[in-house]
Amino acid sequence: MSGAVERRRPQTAQQFVLEELRGAITSGELRPGAPIRQDALAARLQVSRVPLREALKALEAEGLVVHHVHRGYFVAQLSLADLEEIYRIRALLETEAVSRALTLRPDGFYEALAGIQREVERAAKAGDVTAMAEANRRFHFTLIEACGMPRLVRMITTLWDSTDAYRSLYYTDTSHRAQAVHEHRAVLDSILQDDRANALRWLDDHRAHAVSALREVLS
């Protein structure tokens, strides 16, 4: 949340706080299980407790934070079973979305993915975990959203939101960043060659490698 106050704020204080908190969680600045100290946070962001409470309620509905009576809010912490279930459901839904996207192949589809992949690789090389997590998400959702099925995209988005903090932890490791770059390139090559089956296999491997690494984080 560095520089938060100086940046141009969204329309309302609640939206401002919501974006800042979501960004801190998904970037890994606020780690799974960490307490959210409301007084300090309100002072830091120069807002009252009211928009902060409303933002926390919204994040609780998204599954990014949890509230414990008499203890306050904490960044949501997943169990290994939660993580594996989420990735299993993602595999089912994303296979459908990507398969349809590769059938439709809207204009500029491959070029957009290739452009985002260059951003992924720049961030990976620089060791910029936040930038890589953001670019990685854009890469996948450019692919997913090309399916033209907004309800399906919203379902997948919810699943991604619940594991973003863990994804940032995954990218702190240099070898994991290199693995992701390699797998993205393989997906792009498969799309260029119009090999849908191979693209889907690489995406399956991509998710499986992430789950395997995150098992260590959770254990």
**The CATH number of the domain where 63 resides is what?**
1.10.10.10
pLDDT of the residue at 4: 47
Q: Would you say residue 217 has pLDDT above 50?
A: yes
Q: Which domain holds residue 183?
A: 80-218
Residue 103 lies in a domain: yes
| Same-domain status, 40 and 144 | no
Residue 21 lies in a domain: yes
CB 20 within 8 A of CB 44: no
pLDDT of the residue at 28: 73
**The CATH number of the domain where 145 resides is what?**
1.20.120.530
For residue 99, count other CB atoms closer than 10 A to its CB.
14
131-185 confidence digits (pLDDT tens): 898 899 999 999 999 999 999 999 999 899 888 777 777 888 899 999 999 999 9
pLDDT of the residue at 30: 86
Hey, what amino acid is at 75? V
Residue 45 lies in a domain: yes
Total-model pTM = 0.78
| Same-domain status, 183 and 98 | yes
66-125 confidence digits (pLDDT tens): 999 989 999 988 788 888 999 999 999 999 999 999 999 999 999 999 999 999 999 999
CB 76 within 8 A of CB 64: yes
| Same-domain status, 69 and 107 | no
